[in-house]
Structure 1
């Protein structure tokens, strides 16, 4: 990958961030109640978790960023991995013209590396500035500080199934493939060094609930994992196992989750919440779990995408929005 490509990706990461703003509750609603000393995987237990600690109420503004394998085509939006397989879609037409038909030039070529039709080698493989490249997570973190953010962090896995950490449960990760870097750890270190709270965003519930429904059935078990084709029991376990790894690796202050949690087995949702809250107790830290569906709002914070409630509500809420009206990641033009 050329240095100019690296630079474009760096600028993309610096400019295609999503802003997250904390909204208020009714007077007194934000007052923290005492947290239990331990949690069990039951709603009656996790509902006792204080959803919005004081530091979160005071934070007001944070930044997270969609940057990953889909940043290589930089076309359409971060749903390119899905749309490239939908016949007639603009991303499908672009993919055929630039790389070839998805049946012979699949999405995982962006991970493993391959040549496009013009003979250019393409791969999600950012190179650290310290290694002679242009990727500098410390500069990203400083940008977030300069923007006034009080919390920041990466999308550690989007719908595409690529883990941005050294996953032991998913071989499709940024240490085993692509950049060969533990990107979540690099961002965690850089962001915490600036005194910011860490947000980690996870979008992987939709990976096996429809994102890749236009991808042909795969016979390779590894590709079945990437494209969400393992079957319900395995997929639900994998959903939880990935979250457990992220919690243990990054110890996030905010664990932000995208939609379709309601389609994840309730047992695994409760396993996640109780594990996260118990780990936070062991760290001596007050944490926030956000949701768009699948939780009941007693111990977690609801996230409104590109909007918010018109009334004062309790508990405190979060809204996220992007710089672009059509994409959450950098796209050419």
Structure 2
């Protein structure tokens, strides 16, 4: 089969309903870098890349990039490493990480994830440091024993499936520092560091091993792919044959000679300048579209409107995916910000892939992360239950006459609106009541409005729109509306 024919076949694949209905997933970054668990907290990743500096990634806020960060002698991470660990090599953290596995209970994790309402879990099986979280049979020619003897991927998969969720894997196809360990300070460096030689065959064999051994419902690649499209398409075809209702993300850009040319100074400068402009324009990281993908994955940014393609916002609860002991309370999402973001994403037709970064020294999920998972679970279990299997409404975002932020979505024959009670003013009702006039909604004589718990809500057809008066129970209260239309 020709490369063009194979690509046409791949493009006939449709995103399965389970993924579009899911709305919430959990991402897990847990690597040996979680043992030092340290990164600077001065800047978010989008701001760093938007500035276009040559060595921007030396101050990467992502702790999972620790091994790269300490390759820059003057970086914050390098100074921290010298002061804390002396000349200890990064590879030594793998031993401490493995020792901590004795206390790891995947069932506890799965229960915490399921309680959020998440429908799928994606585990990092191999990040850029090349450490494999499963006992791979594919030999790394540069570091043969660089993998976990305990089958973290397999055990977590069983726990996740038993908890009623789907399981997926992340694989860093674009970078592996056991094959190319040059310091990466910017996008041009990153593209030039995509390994060649033995690596494309190694990566392909590992991804096929993950597919055949674990049948992941999500196959999530990162950065790019180290071989050409003609070499990649058969692997994707193999995946869809093995998992017909599987999903691949949008970070499978096949290798091309232009990527290697990014190591040349003029090309690197041009790539960095272009990337900075794109990052500023999109207000975050939005991967370029490869020839084939199922879903888009903007990073630490939410699209402004409903998208043509299915998408998920992927981000950590603080500024890092991996655990960062340097993060303070102000670096994390607040409860209100988490709920607002979730409603905003759902209203625009996306999923939230919320990252958890466990500790490396004891395999536990930090308290603040558990607290935010609980906040999300409390909301999806009561107010936000309607998000599952929902679809965008005609107008996803609005503002009430009283100034409340609004997010709309639809399911079956009902319209749902999440009302931000943190803003706006009440003009009627008792002290505990809230008046919200929905400019976007025109009621009919048969319109019914209920709270998320099914209680009837007093409403009238006001000149400005559908006016509702009720007693909200949480900052982002959800109302269900039937027999109404868009104004």
1:196 offset after TM fit, Å? 0.2
- 2:98 equivalent among 98, 109, 125: 125
Find 2:300's aligned residue among 300, 306, 310. 306
Deviation at 1:231, TM superposition (A): 5.9
- Give the alignment partner of residue 328 of structure 1, picking from 277, 299, 321: 321
Among candidates 68, 74, 95, match of residue 81 of structure 2: 95
Structure 1 counterpart SS, 2:183 = coil
1:289 maps onto 2:289 in alignment: no
Query: Would the aligned equivalents of 1:66 and 1:328 in 2 still touch at CA under 8 Å?
Result: yes
CA distance in 1, matches of 2:32, 2:5: 34
Task: Give the Cα–Cα distance (whole angstroms) in 2 for the partners of residues 205 and 251 of structure 1.
Answer: 21
Summarize deviations over 1:36-73 as a string: whole Å, max 9, x none. Answer: xxx998212211111x1111110000001111111111
Tell me how far apart the structure 1 counterparts of residues 194 and 118 of structure 2 sit (CA, whole Å).
39
Matches for 1:102-121 after TM superposition, within 5 Å:
105-111=88-94, 113=95
- Which position in structure 2 is the counterpart of 1:85? 71
Is 1:48–1:298's contact at 8 Å kept on the other side of the alignment?
Answer: no
Residue 291 of structure 1 aligns to a residue whose secondary structure is coil
Q: CA RMSD in A?
A: 2.9
User: 1:182 is matched with which residue: 148, 151, 154?
Assistant: 151
Partner of 2:118: 149
Q: Distance in 2 between matches of 1:253 and 1:40?
A: 25
Q: Which of 205, 210, 220 pairs up with 1:256?
A: 220
Contact preservation (8 Å) 1:203, 1:259: yes
Q: Is the contact between residue 160 and residue 207 of structure 1 (CA under 8 Å) also seen in structure 2?
A: yes
Q: Against the structure 1 CA distance between its residues 87 and 190, is the aligned structure 2 distance closer, same or farther, given a 3 Å change threshold?
A: same
Output aligned runs, 1:224-303, within 5 Å. Answer: 232-261=196-225, 264-281=227-244, 286-292=245-251, 294=253, 296=290, 299-303=293-297
Match of 1:136 among 105, 108, 113: 105
Q: Secondary structure at the match of 2:78?
A: helix
| Aligned twin of 1:224 | none
Aligned to 1:315: 309
Q: Offset at 1:89?
A: 0.9
Classify the secondary structure of the residue corresponding to 2:220: strand
Kept in 2: contact 1:127–1:135 (CA 8 A): yes
CA distance, structure 2, for counterparts of residue 316 and residue 92 of structure 1: 39
Q: 8 Å contact 1:59–1:151 — kept in the other structure?
A: yes
Which residue pairs with 1:47 in the alignment? 11
- Superposed, 1:162-241 pairs within 5 Å as 162-171=131-140, 180-207=149-176, 212-214=181-183, 232-241=196-205
Report the 3-state secondary structure (helix = DSSP H, G, I; strand = E; otherwise coil) of the residue aligned with 1:232: coil
**What pairs with 1:8-19 in structure 2 (closer than 5 Å)?**
none
The structure with the largest alpha-carbon Rg is 2
Deviation at 1:293, TM superposition (A): 5.2
TM-score, normalised with respect to structure 1? 0.70
CA shift, 1:211, in A, is: 7.1
Match of 1:8 in 2: none
Structure 1 window deviating more from structure 2 (178-187 vs 188-197): it is 178-187
Is 1:63 the equivalent of 2:34? no
State how many pairs are aligned: 257
1:199 counterpart SS class: strand
Contact in 2 for aligned 1:82/1:211 (Cα 8 Å) = no
Question: What's the CA shift for 1:98?
Answer: 2.1
**Distance of aligned partners of 1:299 and 1:158 in 2 relative to their CA distance in 1, 3 Å threshold:** closer
CA distance in 2, matches of 1:148, 1:87: 43
Q: Is the contact made by 2:168 and 2:216 (CA closer than 8 Å) also made in structure 1?
A: yes
Structure 2: tracts of 5 or more residues without a match: 40-62, 185-191, 254-288, 327-487
For residues 66 and 100 of structure 1, the distance between their equivalents in structure 2, rounded to whole angstroms, comes to: 25
> Is the 8 Å Cα contact of residues 145 and 194 (structure 1) preserved in structure 2?
yes
Counterpart secondary structure, 2:160: helix
